[in-house]
Amino acid sequence: MIELNNVSKKYGGQQALEGLTLMLPLGKIIGLVGENGSGKTTLLKLVAGLLTPDSGSATFSGSRITRRVAASVAYMPDADLFYPYFTVGQLFDFYESQFVDFDLIKAKEIAQFVNISLDSKIKNLSKGNRGRVKIAVTLGREADYYLLDEPFSGLDPMVRDDIAKGLIRYTDTERQTVFMSTHELKEVEPLLDEIVVLRGGRVIAHEAVDEIRDTYGKDATSWMVSLFREGS
Which residues contact residue 95 at a Cβ distance below 8 angstroms, ignoring those fewer than 6 apart?
A: 102, 107, 137, 140, 141
Q: Enumerate long-range contacts of 104-113, CB under 8 Å, 24 or more apart.
A: 104/140, 106/139, 106/140, 106/142, 106/170, 107/136, 107/137, 107/139, 107/140, 109/170, 110/135, 110/136, 110/139, 110/140, 110/166, 110/170, 111/136, 113/162, 113/165, 113/166, 113/169, 113/170
Chain-centroid distance of CA 192 in Å reads 12
CATH code for residues 2-231? 3.40.50.300
**pLDDT at 137 (0 to 100):** 96
Predicted pLDDT at 102: 97
What's the rounded Cα separation, in Å, for the pair 57 and 7? 6
- Asked whether 143 and 74 are in contact (CB, 8 A), the reply is yes
3-state DSSP call for residue 213? helix
At residue 231, the pLDDT reads: 64
Tens-digit pLDDT string for the chain (232 aa) = 999 999 999 998 899 999 999 999 999 999 999 988 899 999 999 999 999 999 999 999 999 999 999 999 999 998 877 889 999 999 999 999 999 999 999 999 999 999 999 999 999 999 899 999 999 999 999 999 999 999 988 788 888 888 888 999 999 988 999 999 998 888 889 999 999 999 999 999 999 999 998 998 889 889 988 888 876 5
CA 71 – CA 73 distance, rounded (Å): 6
Domain boundaries, the chain: 2-231
Q: What's the confidence (pLDDT) of residue 101?
A: 96
